Amino acid sequence: MTTTSEMLALFLEENFQEFLQSWRDRVVIAENDKYIEEVMKNGLQMFELVKRAIRNPLSDDEIKVLAQKVAQERVEANTNISEFVFNVNAGRSEIIKWVGSSGIRIEDLRPYLEEINGVFDRFSYYAVRFYTEIKEQQLKEKVNYIDQTHKERLTILGQMSSSFVHEFRNPLTSIIGFTKLLKYDYPELPYLDVMSHELDQLNYRISQFLHVSRKEIIESKKEKFLVFSLLGELIEFLYPSLVDGDVQVKSHLDSQVYIKGNKEELRQVFLNLIMNSIDALQQVKGNRKITISCTFENDEIHIKVANNGPEISAETVEAIFEPFYTTKELGTGIGLYICRKLVEKHEGSIVCTSSPEETAFTVTIPAAKEEQKTGMLL
């Protein structure tokens, strides 16, 4: 006597051609899908799996093999996974329809219907899972590739700019020297101060590039100096730009706080911060203010450069420290990137906070306690 499962499997085999035709009529597939033939073959394999499941429950491993193959093909065909899900469901409903017309009593069919549904559910689950995994992997590889080529370009750019900088620096140094000599020989000659100042600005700009290219290679020389004098000198240096930009500077500096670090590098940091503030303040009308303060707390020195200019949105706050992020027509976008690198080189940190009233950059640098004490005694 044949069992229900055998009867059902035989019934499906006998009507196999018609079943396949009605499934094919429903399948959604692009004409240019390079796996169009495989889709039909996969349908057949799925049909085989269903027949086997009716005779003997299937293990996950048996289903996974086909799911893996289909997932790979769907990725390579570069189609949307929704077509695949639609076609699987079309196959499921066709089979259920055919099984229902087998003449076998519905009570006897029930466990087999469950088994068939189970095969389809597991197949869809694994195929979509593998498909997503492959896609994610591809995306990761793409991002890695982009990162890598971007890094390589940055390296080349760095090498180019550092040799470029050297070529520039030598003639610049001699022009600065000769301007000083001229001033010495002809103290009354007009425009020399303006020229000297502009040349110094140019020199700072160029040094900025040098900081990027050599930062890790050369261990910078550290010395102990007063924060007060560094910032005082900078404000004096920037005086023409402050007047030009119509900006007032207020500084609250403890005249006794010493810092140990590379003066050149820290000068570059605060120069960038103050220059950025002057630039940002050009967007406001009147009452342009920069406030510089310095505090010494818990063995740390906090130097804050704040201005009452435009607010930087929370999403942009991190981006501004990335290289080449700029909103300025002639900006290079490396100012804050260098600031962060140089501050980190001093084992410190730099944080930006911004509100409609105030945008501030706070540099925190650790200071050894005894150094402050000896400093104070000097």
Ligand X SMILES: Nc1ncnc2c1ncn2[C@@H]1O[C@H](COP(=O)(O)OP(=O)(O)OP(=O)(O)O)[C@@H](O)[C@H]1O
35 CA to centre of own chain: 36
Interface with Mg ion: number of residues (CB under 5 A): 2
Task: Return the amino acid letter for 116.
Answer: I
Residue 179 or residue 276: which is nearer to Mg ion going by CB?
276
Task: Please report whether residue 334 would count as binding ligand X according to CB under 6 A.
Answer: yes
Residues with Cβ < 8 Å from 249, sequence gap 6 or more?
Answer: 235, 242, 274, 289, 290, 291, 292
Site string for Mg ion, 258-287 (x = CB under 5 A): ------------------x-----------
Give the footprint of Mg ion on residues 332-351 (CB under 5 A). 335
Q: Which residues contact 322 (CB under 8 A, 6 or more apart)?
A: 333, 337
Count of residues that bind ligand X according to CB under 6 A: 21
Interface stretch with ligand X, choices 73-81, 167-175, 224-232, 321-329 (CB under 6 A):
321-329
Residue 335 found at the interface with ligand X (CB under 6 A): yes
Give the nearer residue to Mg ion in terms of CB position, either 124 or 272. Answer: 272
**Which is nearer to Mg ion, 71 or 269 (by Cβ)?**
269
First to last CA, the chain: 109
Choose from Mg ion, ligand X, none: what does 100 bind? Cβ within 5-8 Å by kind: none
Judged by beta carbon distances under 5 to 8 A according to partner kind, the member of Mg ion, ligand X, none in contact with residue 372 is none
The structure tokens listed for 348 are 């410190």
Q: Which stretch binds ligand X (CB under 6 A): 3-11, 29-37, 94-102, 325-333?
A: 325-333
Where residue 297 falls (left for φ over 0; alpha for ψ -120 to 50; beta otherwise) is beta
The token pair that represents 117 in the structure block: 């549904």
Q: Token digits for 217?
A: 């290679």
Check residue 320 for interaction with ligand X (CB under 6 A): yes
Phi, psi of 186 (to 5 degrees): -125, 75
| Site pattern 40..69 for ligand X (x: CB under 6 A) | ------------------------------
Q: Which residue has the tokens 């101060």?
A: 193
248: part of which helix (H) or strand (E)? strand 247-253
325 binds, options Mg ion, ligand X, none, Cβ within 5 to 8 A by partner type: ligand X
Burial, 277: exposed, middle or buried (Cβ in 10 Å; 0-12, 13-18, 19+)?
buried
Is 238 a binding residue for ligand X by CB under 6 A? The answer is no
Place of tokens 């519905």: 106
What residues make contact with ligand X under the rule CB under 6 A? 272, 276-277, 280, 307, 309-310, 312, 320, 325-328, 331-337, 359
What residues make contact with Mg ion under the rule CB under 5 A? 276, 335
